[in-house]
Amino acid sequence: MNCLRIEPAEDDASLLDWRLVHNALIPTAALSVAEVTERAGRNRLSVAYLDDVLVGCSTVRPPGADNPVATVIARILPAHRGRGLGTALYAHGLELARELGAVVIETCVLESNPEGLRFALRQGFVEIERYVLPGGTVPFIDLRLG
């Protein structure tokens, strides 16, 4: 039986795994090791393994002191989709965001990831904004949990 483990990305190896998944799925906004390390200082990054195989990563951007909005992003590598792993990873991130005091939950999906957009819509998110990062060409879609 396969066991899904979701662990905080806190050491060099797990941060590299987080980066590998992020850059594979978001090639238009690939991150350096330094950028991932900086991101880990302000967000809660996690990695997901099925047994010992890396299958995904997640990001929880915590709510601010005067802003109750948290962003929860769950990413599953294409070869591992369709088995409920994204749902479990998303639920883990959602629980963490609520523990951190989030009242409103948002997510972000790259427009070139239609599977990710369908997943977010199935979870009850609704689109609130589309934008292109400076120098980018593919829009990001921000969604809010309805």
- What tens digit of pLDDT does each residue of 66-93 get? 899 999 999 999 999 999 999 999 999 9
Q: Are 54 and 18 in contact (CB under 8 A)?
A: no
In 3D space, the residue among 99, 91, 101 whose CA is nearest the CA of residue 123 turns out to be: 91
Q: Are 80 and 50 in contact (CB under 8 A)?
A: yes
Q: Over 80: is that where the pLDDT of 1 sits?
A: no
What's the rounded Cα separation, in Å, for the pair 139 and 98? 28
Q: Specify the amino acid at residue 36.
A: V
Q: Over 90: is that where the pLDDT of 146 sits?
A: no
What value does the mean pLDDT take over residues 18-44?
Answer: 95
Confidence band of 133 (pLDDT split at 50, 70, 90): confident
Question: What is the CATH number that goes with domain 4-145?
Answer: 3.40.630.30
